[in-house]
Structure 1
């Protein structure tokens, strides 16, 4: 069944980034036996998004609206439930769910790092399935890594001590903030796995812009 879901997701340039099994767990839809986390599949995700109706209608939150439509449709086809990391409180614990997959880890800078996408990982939603679907675990890319992420933040706002959000925003507002604004967070880009992931700078710049507003 995993191969079927991966193929279904790939048609929308989404990837299964990890998953975990459970038995009718509190906080999940009744009868849930597996949760699969979905996120962008590169190359191709960003051009695909920009050609979708939610992007072209010029209304707010195009990517969230697209995610609801696409992942919601997948859930209907699979007799599953779609869950999202946005939409207001109470929020689903995507961070904790990701750590349960064995394919996503807490990085040295406290951001999530994923097996194939590194620190550029993001989640568009999840599928809560009534079937038990196993996703292979992986070895953390941080093992044996020189950890350049720890010293990559030009503002000193993101490191082993965590994330100083006001310091980050102050830096982005200054004359030196253009590199991060135009190409994405320097810390995320410093990750060796991120450097091998085909995410477009334009994609990263869009999310930096929505973050820094």
Structure 2
């Protein structure tokens, strides 16, 4: 059974691409649906994302995808070591600051200073030159002043996974939503611009067209 948390948090998603991906809407799943997002890792489900349905349970879900198509941290620059940190190796440290969110790193402290910061998750929305700080609470509990600049960013092109066994294509998401608040408007007839959809639509275009023929795919 899919459940949705509709509590309002101070989080935002960028929806400027929604009206480019969704060109025309002629018919929808009436009233929308709560999505079962178990195992879906991207933080945002963007407009144009294919929605599938599990035959056995009737659950609606986003088609599996490997990543968001967003710009994240590619490489980090020279570490400013800070002082008074607790020696050790710390994983999944959420670096703070900068213009984006979600970057994680492995941080090594030796001689009470931060010696290396290695990106493990690129996050999204960062810019070259952003200064990212190492929060002491995630790196041993003591210390301050350690930081590292963003040296380069990359566009992580998301890839759709295969249609799971026992599922069918139903339509596409009309407007971008947070994965953890997955109440979805689903288009069943209309026009999408596959080039503006969140991931590489070409990999599923033929199968999707056969299953949902009333959704026209047109790269305007």
TM-score (norm 2): 0.22
Structure with greater contact order relative to length (CA < 8 Å, sep ≥ 6): 2
Structure (1/2) with the larger strand percentage = 2
Select the structure that is richer in helix.
1
- TM-score norm. by structure 1 comes to 0.23
